Amino acid sequence: MKIARFSVDGLDFHGKVEGDRVRVIKGSIFGDWELSGASYPLAQVKLLPPTRPVNYWGVGENYAKHVNYRLEEMGESFRPRSAAFTPWHKGVGSIIGTGDTIIIPPDADWIEYEGEICVVIGKPCFRVTEAEAPNYILGYTVTNDIGTGPTWAKSDFSLWRVKSCDTFGPVGPWIETDLDPHGVDIIVRVDGKEEDRGNTRDMIHNCFEIVSNISRHITLHPGDIITTGAPGLTRPLKAGEVIEVEIPEIGVLRNPIANLKE
Amino acid sequence: MKIARFSVDGLDFHGKVEGDRVRVIKGSIFGDWELSGASYPLAQVKLLPPTRPVNYWGVGENYAKHVNYRLEEMGESFRPRSAAFTPWHKGVGSIIGTGDTIIIPPDADWIEYEGEICVVIGKPCFRVTEAEAPNYILGYTVTNDIGTGPTWAKSDFSLWRVKSCDTFGPVGPWIETDLDPHGVDIIVRVDGKEEDRGNTRDMIHNCFEIVSNISRHITLHPGDIITTGAPGLTRPLKAGEVIEVEIPEIGVLRNPIANLKE
The CATH number assigned to the domain holding A24 equals: 2.30.30.370
**Length of chain B, please?**
262
Reported as a single tens digit per residue, the pLDDT across B223-241 is 999 999 999 999 999 999 9
**Above 90 in pLDDT, residue A85?**
no
Cβ contacts below 8 Å, chain A against chain B, sum to 96
Interatomic CA distance for residues B150 and B108, integer angstroms: 9
CB contact under 8 A, B166 and A219: yes
Q: Does residue A82 surpass a pLDDT of 70?
A: no
Going by pLDDT thresholds of 50, 70 and 90, the confidence category of residue B78 is: low
Task: Specify whether the CB–CB gap between A93 and B219 falls below 8 A.
Answer: yes
B105 and B41 both lie in a single domain = no
Answer for the pair A190, A96: CB distance below 8 angstroms, yes or no: no
- Confidence category of residue B75, pLDDT binned at 50, 70, 90: confident
Looking at the structure, tell me whether residues A144 and A228 fall in a common domain: yes
Residue B39, beta-bridge partner list:
B23
Residue A52 has pLDDT above 90, yes or no: yes
B220 with B214: CB under 8 angstroms? yes
Tell whether the model's pLDDT for residue A81 goes beyond 80. no
**Residue A218 to residue B92, Cβ atoms within 8 A:** no
pLDDT at A73 over 90: no
Residue A179 has pLDDT above 90, yes or no: yes
Please state, in angstroms and rounded to a whole number, the distance separating the CA atoms of residues B56 and B250. Answer: 20
A87 touches B: beta carbon within 8 Å = yes
Written in H, E and C, the secondary structure of chain A is CEEEEEEECCEEEEEEEECCEEEEEEECCCCCEEEEEEEEEHHHCEEECCCCCCCEEECCCCCHHHHHHHHHHHCHHHHHHHCCCCCEEECHHHEECCCCCEEECCCCCCEECCEEEEEEECCCECCCCCCCHHHHEEEEEEEECCEECHHHHHHCCCCHHHHHCCCCEEEEEEEECCCCCCCCEEEEEECCEEEEEEEHHHCCCCHHHHHHHHHCCCCECCCCEEECCCCCCCCEECCCCEEEEEECCCEEEEEEEEECCC
Q: Which residues 221-250 of B are in CB contact (within 8 Å) with A? A: 221, 224
Q: Give the integer Cα–Cα distance in Å for B41 and B22.
A: 6
Query: Residue-wise over A28-62: b if at least 16 C-beta within 10 A, else e?
Result: ebbeeeeeeeebbebeebebbbbbebbbbbbbbbb
Q: Please write the tens of the pLDDT for every residue from B15-24.
A: 999 999 999 9
**pLDDT score at B237:** 98
A236 has a pLDDT exceeding 70: yes
Q: Are B188 and B219 part of one and the same domain? A: yes
What gap in Å lies between CA B141 and CA B207, rounded to an integer?
A: 12
Is the link from the previous residue into B181 a cis peptide, with omega within 30 of 0?
no
Asked if residue B79 has pLDDT above 80, the reply is no
Residue A40 has pLDDT above 70, yes or no: yes
Residues B127 and B29 in one domain: no
Are A166 and A203 in a shared domain? yes
- Mean pLDDT across B137-161: 92
Chain A touched by B77 (CB under 8 Å): no
Q: Smallest Cβ distance to B89: which of A81, A91, A166? A: A91
pLDDT of residue B112: 97
Q: Are strands A185-190 and A33-41 parallel, antiparallel or unpaired?
A: unpaired
Average pLDDT estimate for A16-23: 98
> Do the chains contact at A165 and B217, CB–CB below 8 Å?
yes
Residues B124 and B73 in one domain: yes
Cα–Cα dist B198/B63, whole Å: 9
Residue type, A30: F
Taking the C-alpha atoms of residue B154 and residue A129, their distance in angstroms, rounded to an integer, is 26
What percentage of residues in chain B have a pLDDT greater than 90?
Answer: 87
**Residue B67 is which amino acid?**
V
Cα(A72)–Cα(A66) distance, integer angstroms: 10
The mean pLDDT of A140-162, rounded to a whole number, is 91
Of A54, A160, A166, the CB nearest to B88: A160
Report chain B residues whose CB lies below 8 A from the CB of A164: 89, 218
Pairwise CA distance, residues A175 & A91, whole Å: 20
The verdict on a CB contact (< 8 Å) between A155 and B86 is yes
Q: Give the model's confidence band at B81: pLDDT under 50 very low, under 70 low, under 90 confident, else very high.
A: low
Same domain, B92 and B218: yes
Q: Average pLDDT of A90-97?
A: 97
Domain count, chain B: 2
A161 and A130 fall within a common domain: yes
Please tell me the predicted confidence (pLDDT) of residue B34: 97
Choose, out of A57, A218, A226, A260, the residue to mutate when testing the contact with B (most B CBs < 10 Å): A218
Note the pTM of the prediction, 2 decimals: 0.95
Average pLDDT over every residue of A211-237: 97
**Beta-strand relationship, A169-176 and A137-144:** antiparallel
Q: Quick check: B160 contacting A, CB < 8 Å?
A: yes
Half-sphere exposure of A236 (CA within 13 A, CB side): 9
Q: What are phi and psi of B208, to 5 degrees?
A: -70, -40
- Identity of the residue numbered A237: L
Same domain as B209, residue B255: yes
What distance in Å separates the CA atoms of residue B196 and residue B177, rounded to the nearest whole number?
Answer: 25
Q: What span, in angstroms and rounded, lies between the C-alpha atoms of A53 and A51?
A: 6
Residue contact B105–A217, C-beta within 8 A:
yes
Most A CBs within 10 Å: which of B54, B95, B162, B218, as the mutation test of the A interface? B218
> Which amino acid is it at A147?
G
User: Is A89's CB within 8 Å of B164's CB?
Assistant: yes
User: What pLDDT sits at residue A209?
Assistant: 97
- Checking if the pLDDT of B163 tops 90, the result is yes
Least confident of B42-51, B60-69, B141-150: B60-69
Residues in chain A within 8 Å Cβ distance of B218:
91, 93-94, 160-161, 164-166
Nearest residue in chain A measured CA to CA from B82: A157
B90 shares a domain with B69: yes
B82: pLDDT strictly greater than 80: no
Cβ contact, residue pair B86, A55, below 8 Å: no
Whether A99 and A176 share a structural domain: yes
Average pLDDT over residues A43-65: 95
Rounded distance, CA A253 to CA A99, Å? Answer: 8
Quote the domain boundaries for residue B160: 49-259
Q: Are strands A115-121 and A242-247 parallel, antiparallel or unpaired?
A: unpaired
CA angle, B197 as apex, B195 and B202 as ends, to 5°?
A: 150
What pLDDT, on the 0 to 100 scale, is given for residue B80? 60
In CATH, what number is assigned to the domain containing residue A77? 3.90.850.10
A85 and A200 part of one domain:
yes
